[in-house]
A and B are shown apart, each in its own frame.
Chain A
């Protein structure tokens, strides 16, 4: 696949910058970009997981030093994530054999991005509105104010997160993230963080560190499984993405401190919707060349 080295480095840096700006992994942006560039979706998804491992390693190490990590919650998330990851890689291979992998990836991106993007857009507009009217947005936990499924059986106490909830919804969340991550080449931080924050009401101090801890573990498993099952990991491409991303992210993070939070979320929502729309068009427009060849096996 002849793709310019400088282009990949530049794209890695640009996406890294955005991810640093928004404090997200950037996989959900990089994988679509690689696909739009003409890299086979299988390779894009599998290789991008290496970049996610690198960027979340950086944030986990930072979180460990600041002690902003709930180990127990992290471990539960990782357990669910492992199962989800394995299922995701298995499903990926099955869809690839059936010749429908591209379709699965595109449809998942459209669905996920449209839903998450519109939720975020709604949230950020409402927040913006509140602030204009002078009110403050309340994000504090009230006694007895819990979603009912948090009280399901198998309750567990997480001291660091000040939580006493059933592990079933937590495992379900991490299973889903692991599955989506392995299938789509995303870390899933942009889903885990809001979910932990708004649904489980985990304190902001430990949310990012804990979710990054889960992402680094599950993506690591996904990366190795992709290399073994699908042989779709491209080491050279991975290194280029990592190098570009690492530096871009640092500058983005520096820039991000001067941006307002609700503007943040508004821009991110627009970005998500735009990528979702771009994928949607690909699905709906008549293809120029309806035929495609895939090599099942090389015989010598």
Chain B
């Protein structure tokens, strides 16, 4: 027992995992959007704290901020030629993918860490989309569908990667802006911040924010979804009312 004490101390001082700690904060934990919303930004602030025993790193720090929106069950379909017409034929299901993904980095992601680590830890948009659990693999037949999903989502501004998205204000304090386009769906958004130095992950934190739609359109949307019979009847009554009104206004006899 007496011999174990110095040994434990030795092990503890050798373990580098706890050397840096990451402290992050979001500018907002709840984003309210109304019908004339045209997109906004959320800021992530972070500070890197080093404990007394750790020496400064020669290479400096890199930060990757990954934001994942609410999950959706998507189907991607491909139009193919059948005789004279183009119709949807092949399809690939994506059972649970984020409706929104953005990856903000302090440097081009290929310079931050190795390919293998990126694939294993799902760092970067490419790695997330090509991960095994993103959709079921079909010996390469799934590849064009993953690419199409990436392309179509990127066109809507919902999947993006910005290699200058994280800025270091001082060597240990950084900020990143998460752009949220008008098409971003309401729900819970997870924010993961990963700290790298010399291609190795030093620390990780995660937090989240909520995107909430408010206003007239959202209330109508809720009614349409949850009280669909009432909604249908209400639309019918409105239509009949306008029809009757037109009949009264434009009566010719």
Contacts and interface: CB of A to CB of B under 8 A. Distances in A.
Most B C-beta atoms less than 10 A away, residue of A233, A246, A290: A290
A6 interface: no
Interface string B235-249: 110111011111100
B187 interface: yes
Interface residues of A, number: 53
B232 interface: yes
B242 A242 contact: yes
Interface string A232-247: 0101101100110011
B235 A235 contact: yes
A50 B77 contact: no
B76 A223 contact: no
B87 interface: yes
A290 B187 contact: no
B79 A246 contact: no
B246 A250 contact: yes
Contacts of B86: 283-287, 290
Contacts of B80: 290
Interface in B100-156: 144-145, 148-149, 151-153
Contacts, number: 164
A290 B78 contact: yes
A99 B232 contact: no
A300 B84 contact: no
Contacts of A300: 70-71, 187-188
A57 interface: yes
Contact of A291 (B87, B148, B225, B246): B148
A285 B86 CA distance: 8
A270 interface: no
A58 B224 CA distance: 26
A5 to B, nearest CB: 11
A287 B239 contact: no
A235 B238 contact: yes
Interface string A204-245: 000000000000100010011111100101011011001100
B239 A51 contact: yes
A224 B88 contact: no
A223 B87 contact: no
A293 B149 contact: yes
Residue with the greatest number of chain B CB neighbours at <10 A, chosen from A62, A289, A298: A298
Interface string A88-112: 0000000000011011000000000
Contact of A233 (B77, B185, B187, B235): B235
Q: Which of B87, B236, B245 has the most CB of A within 10 A?
A: B236
A128 B163 CA distance: 70
B10 interface: no
A228 B228 contact: yes
Which residue among A99, A249, A293 has the maximum number of chain B CB atoms within 10 Å of its CB? A293
Nearest to A239: B238
A50 B76 contact: no
A294 B70 contact: no
Given A290-B79, A291-B145, A223 B235 contact: yes
A6 to B, nearest CB: 15
A238 B238 contact: yes
A54 interface: yes
A48 to B, nearest CB: 11
Given A58-B243, A100-B88, A284-B85, A224 B78 contact: no
Contacts of A295: 72-74
Contact of A235 (B71, B96, B220): B220
B54 interface: no
Interface of A: 2, 50-51, 53-58, 61-62, 65, 99-100, 102-103, 216, 220, 223-228, 231, 233, 235-236, 238-239, 242-243, 246-247, 249-250, 283-287, 289-300
